[in-house]
Structure 1
Amino acid sequence: MKAIDLFAGAGGFSLAAFEVGIDVQAAIELDKQASDTYYHSLVEKLGAQTQVFSQDINDVDIGSMMKFQGIKQGQLDILLGGLTCSPLINTRRC
């Protein structure tokens, strides 16, 4: 199964997917520290083949990204989407 992770954070949803054999093709996360953590934890340490995009979701051409990843229409099985915790960032509860 193939998936893409939007608002990926540090990769919690992707880690769960990876652990059950789902191939997370790409992850998009605006926060640089979170995307760096994602890359270090999942790609470098676990060997996930995920392409990590550290940028605003509004700046990503999803069609081009899917084409780059070799995903054709109808081939994406799962769309992961994390919830934003930006209102909680300053309270350190996120």
Structure 2
Amino acid sequence: MLGFTVAFSGNGYRILRVGNSEVPLTIEEGEASSLTNRAYPIFFTKDLDIVYKKLRDHGVKAGEIQKDGVNTFFDFYDLDHNKLQVCFWE
């Protein structure tokens, strides 16, 4: 749904490629809880509205777009209910 490609899969985890970037995203299998899900990845984009619409159009659970005075951002959740975030700032 998010457009990542799998670079490696095995031993209870997957390494995903994010676009054409050299930066990997590693997802591990296991129990999710509020104690283990305090840290979450934040993705930067220059086109927040486009990314928001694309995720929602693909059925991804996403919160409302928010502004904190510096950043514009929204939270979204993977199929295991892990929180991720997309942000934009100038």
Fold match (TM-score > 0.5): no
Higher helix share: 1
Larger RCO of the pair (alpha carbons < 8 Å, separation 6+)? 1
TM (norm. structure 2) is 0.29
Higher strand share: 2
TM (norm. structure 1) is 0.28
Point out the structure with max Rg over C-alpha: 2
